């Protein structure tokens, strides 16, 4: 009698467990579909920012004040480079080691902004070896605005070494201090220069990396597929028991 009483409760428990598992799998699949739509919208938005007419410094500052994201926004600005205060970020290009060259650009009103002029291989880090690219006088830079970082992106990333002029992440305050810049004149964002060729070929611009993996559809299919598999296996098991 006791054994027969246990069996119905076991069946109920099994059905509940299967129902919960099925609900979880469907929920995970639906969440991935929602993430897919969000990611597609974000990719389209960034593409629109990159290809839109360039904004001015004042427009970028107004957006920042109003809480509008300026990341990857096309921008144009004119000023003079201070090549003596280049900052170097460890980087690679097509597998070759080197550096991104961040150079302060002083605007007509005295404000300063760091421009990522692009990549130079390790053997050309010394500006004396690429003098043609050390442009004098006023120059108009077209590129993409990049947001200022407030903290190290990952605990696994090495610490910057400002004393050695070697950076691994964009700590604007440390960059400015190590270059001896007036922090009060520094604009609160960076600019990645576009792909226009510099005299002498270096630095090589257009190095902005926009890496937004979009695997949410495959994840959704996986979760929904597991839900279908669970239903099929459960039905087969119930038929086998019925026989």
Q: What is the CATH number of domain 73-201?
A: 2.40.50
Query: Can you give the three-state secondary structure of 104-128, one letter per residue?
Result: EEEECCCCEEEEEEEEEEHHHCCHH
pTM metric for this prediction: 0.79
Whether residue 199 has a cis bond before it, omega within 30° of 0: no
pLDDT band at 10; cut points 50, 70, 90 = low
- Average pLDDT value for residue range 5-28: 80
Task: For the chain, give the mean pLDDT.
Answer: 90
Summarised one tens digit per residue, pLDDT across range 157-214 is: 899 999 999 999 999 999 999 999 999 999 999 999 999 999 999 999 999 988 777 7
Checking if the pLDDT of 98 tops 90, the result is: yes
50-57: long-range contacts, CB 8 A cutoff, minimum separation 24: 50/74, 50/144, 50/210, 54/142, 55/145, 57/107, 57/111, 57/113, 57/187
Give the start-to-end residue ranges of the domains of the chain: 2-47+214-242, 73-201
Summarised one tens digit per residue, pLDDT across range 102-156 is: 999 999 999 999 999 999 999 999 999 999 999 999 999 999 999 888 788 888 8
pLDDT at 8: 66
b/e sequence 61-74, b meaning 16+ C-beta within 10 Å:
bebbeeeeebebbb
> And the tokens for 147?
């947001």
């Amino acid at each position: 009698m006791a054994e027969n009483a246990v069996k119905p409760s076991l069946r109920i428990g099994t059905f509940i467990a299967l129902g919960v598992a099925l609900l979880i799998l469907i929920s995970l699949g639906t969440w991935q579909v929602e993430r897919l739509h969000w990611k597609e919208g974000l990719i389209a938005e960034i593409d629109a920012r990159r290809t839109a007419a360039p904004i001015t410094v004042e427009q970028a500052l107004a957006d920042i004040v109003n809480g509008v994201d300026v990341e990857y926004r096309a921008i144009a600005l004119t000023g003079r480079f201070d090549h003596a205060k280049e900052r170097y970020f460890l980087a690679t290009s097509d597998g070759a080691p080197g550096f991104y060259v961040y150079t302060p650009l002083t605007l007509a009103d005295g404000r300063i902004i760091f421009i990522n002029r692009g990549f130079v291989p390790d053997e050309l880090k010394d500006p004396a070896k690429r003098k043609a690219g050390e442009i004098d006088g006023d120059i108009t830079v077209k590129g993409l605005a990049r947001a200022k970082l407030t903290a190290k992106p990952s605990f696994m990333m090495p610490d910057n070494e400002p004393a050695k002029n070697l950076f691994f992440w964009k700590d604007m305050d440390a960059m400015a201090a190590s270059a001896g810049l007036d922090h009060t004149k520094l604009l609160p964002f960076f600019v990645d220069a576009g792909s226009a060729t510099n005299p002498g070929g270096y630095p090589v611009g257009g190095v902005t990396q926009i890496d937004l993996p979009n695997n949410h559809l495959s994840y959704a299919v996986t979760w929904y597929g597991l839900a279908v598999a669970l239903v099929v296996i459960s039905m087969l098991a119930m038929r086998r028991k019925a026989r």
